[in-house]
A and B are shown apart, each in its own frame.
Chain A
């Protein structure tokens, strides 16, 4: 019998704790001026970084759903 410890808890932990690290990274590079959103190429990179986070989040969600329901 599968429990939430095998299905969604790891997912929530991964994107909860991992998400905190990611958010911290985004804040630090913005605050430090390392990524400068006035520059066109940096705006593109900002979008790529956010896309990457949700890209993996969606892939994992689909895979868990598929394992449980398909």
Chain B
């Protein structure tokens, strides 16, 4: 396979450096809007849908990157676009299930939802699984960045008279340092605005590459005719080859990946939580998936398609043996002139950095919310309740960002031996998403799903998944749809189906046998030394889980151990835990959305549709979130005291940057004027003389 170094000219490097400086200055400017941890992580829940939809482009395109889709485009053609156009099946669940739940329950992280819905131990396990998922994702991001930049680098550099080889890992470490510095000092608002800019640039750069490529080949007709028919099909062959087939990718990406990306990618969820309302979040998601993703599929894959067409026309220009992960850079360097190539590469690498930035920021949010705060609370449990020191938390968040960046670099080691980034990502999704995906899904949409079932899904499901990974020929083969097993990377994609079925099966089985578990526990409690027996079962489960993880024993013994774990974990959870079904489900599942909305508001929801009014603002004394409008204005808005409103600078192009959420107070008589407090003015960054728009939320 042909690999490349030293692609590009000094002009390209100058363009790249200037691009990065501009992007970092742009981000730093908006970093000043970060006042506390809420701003650092969530951007203050104030942005318009279009701003978030565009900023998600950079995150989504970056993560499903130019490198891996160009590689598959080169190897297999238009079917590289499959993963961008199979997300809609789960959108109803997301828009009317998970999205409103996370907003209305005011959770700051996915594990926090698990504590509300189930128990603190469910939150603990969810935190571990989610951190693994996020750090793995960061590792994939760094790997892609390294592979993108490596072809442009020389094979070695001379530093202080010593020749230093430029390896993939060394390149990644330098990239990680730059990325870490940026996110540590920027925060979510900076990332959102940087991504907004990069979203536009990225689409432009990708489409520019396509136009330049077509121009290089001649015209679109020639391009179309050069491609073999199977390269023009939008879906891959049903089950061949094992490295890229439709059915495996459907289960790995269309199901596990889509649900994982929408439901458990904390980075993406934080973007939706940064929108000013649930409805704006829905608009951002729908526009992104319906229109942005199909465009992005062309943007990220076209270099591979162009590369294939050139390889067919003249193999001396693009060799058919070119390393697939380098095809993007190779094609870009051929079709674009110096400087333009630098711009395209800058857009690519900056977009990848956006993805990694978002993930680091999101993982830091999980750390603060689900590790730092609970640990601090535990350590201070005997002291008097202290107010939260936001400066300390912000400092901890920044330190966490640095540590997570370093851990993400280490995670690259787990993926760097896969033939392509695409396969590494597919294996990663298939392996890490199923337990959490199934737990979130059943938790949100099935009231009967219990803490015993969720714990069994996490522990027993993972045990069965590990068995599948050890014995794919026995356990995954029955689900392989005719895909031939590659012994080096067995069932990289279709293992997602096995893993999800195991987790789903465990969750459903344990939920349906809840009464049996209660009977067993009642019987156990009648035994004199029931506590010792309870602890004994816990100890046995730990030993068996470790044995399954380390593969110490025969297949039949380990399989029996995994089944034992599945059956006894729920008994232990039922024995030690307390679960009030009403308390843990009302307002926390899609079946009780109205209650969730009422809890969010704090009173009965007012859904009468009123006008949006324009107002002058004045400072007045007041309490908390209360603002005061005239009686006539409130009537136009069909609002009552106690209702929630969104107050925003009238200039729509700001996308909600200068805005606040507030509560209607008692009316006054001065039409066209709103009285806000000094603190609200500072929080919303409202400028003197600027008109505000007020909209009743609920």
Contact = CB atoms under 8 A, between A and B. Distances in A.
Given A22-B92, A52-B286, A32 B234 contact: no
A21 B87 CA distance: 11
B90 A21 contact: yes
Interface string A31-70: 0111100011100010011001101100110011011101
A5 B589 CA distance: 40
B282 interface: yes
A37 to B, nearest CB: 11
B279 A41 contact: yes
Interface stretch (B93-101, B364-372, B657-665): B93-101
A23 to B, nearest CB: 9
B56 interface: no
B594 interface: yes
Interface string A12-35: 011001110110011011001111
A56 to B, nearest CB: 5
B89 interface: yes
Nearest to A57: B88
> For the side of the interface on B, what is the size category?
35 or more
B279 to A, nearest CB: 7
Given A7-B233, A22-B92, A55-B290, A40 B609 contact: yes
A45 B236 contact: no
Most chain A CB inside 10 Å of its own CB: which residue of B88, B237, B246, B294: B88
A25 B279 CA distance: 18
B601 interface: no
Contact of A25 (B89, B236, B238, B254): B89
A39 B485 CA distance: 51
A5 B238 contact: yes
Contacts of A56: 85-86, 88
Contacts of A5: 237-240
Contacts of B89: 18-19, 21-22, 25, 53
Residue of A56, A66, A68 with highest tally of chain B CB at under 10 A: A56
B178 interface: no
Nearest to A7: B233
B232 interface: yes
Contacts of A29: 92-93, 96-97, 590
B235 A10 contact: yes
Given A18-B86, A29-B92, A29-B590, A67 B232 contact: yes
Contacts of A45: 95-96, 282
B91 interface: yes
Given A14-B86, A68-B229, A28 B97 contact: yes
Main secondary structure of the interface of A (DSSP, over half): helix
Contacts of A67: 78, 229, 232-234
Contacts of B95: 45, 49
A49 B92 contact: yes
A31 B509 CA distance: 23
A64 B88 contact: no
Given A28-B97, A29-B93, A33-B591, A39 B233 contact: no
Interface in B195-242: 224, 229-230, 232-240
Interface string B72-108: 0000001000000110111111011100100000000
A35 B593 CA distance: 9
A5 B236 CA distance: 9
Nearest to B482: A5
A34 B238 contact: no
Contact of B590 (A34, A39, A68): A34
B246 A21 contact: no
Given A14-B254, A18-B254, A21-B90, A64 B233 contact: yes
Contact of B230 (A2, A28, A32, A66): A2
Given A29-B97, A45-B96, A60 B254 contact: no
Interface of A: 2, 5-7, 9-11, 13-14, 17-19, 21-22, 25-26, 28-29, 32-35, 39-41, 45, 48-49, 52-53, 55-56, 59-60, 63-64, 66-68, 70
Given A35-B92, A66-B232, 15 more contacts: A5-B237, A5-B240, A9-B238, A10-B235, A10-B246, A13-B250, A21-B90, A22-B88, A28-B93, A32-B589, A49-B91, A55-B290, A56-B86, A63-B234, A67-B232
Across the A-B interface, give the 5 residue pairs with the lowest CB-CB distance, nearest first: A25-B92, A67-B232, A10-B235, A10-B246, A63-B234
Interface of B: 78, 85-86, 88-93, 95-97, 100, 224, 229-230, 232-240, 246-247, 250, 254-255, 279, 282, 286, 289-290, 294, 445, 589-591, 593-594, 607, 609
11 contacts: A5-B239, A6-B230, A6-B237, A14-B86, A21-B90, A29-B590, A33-B591, A33-B594, A34-B590, A34-B593, A59-B234
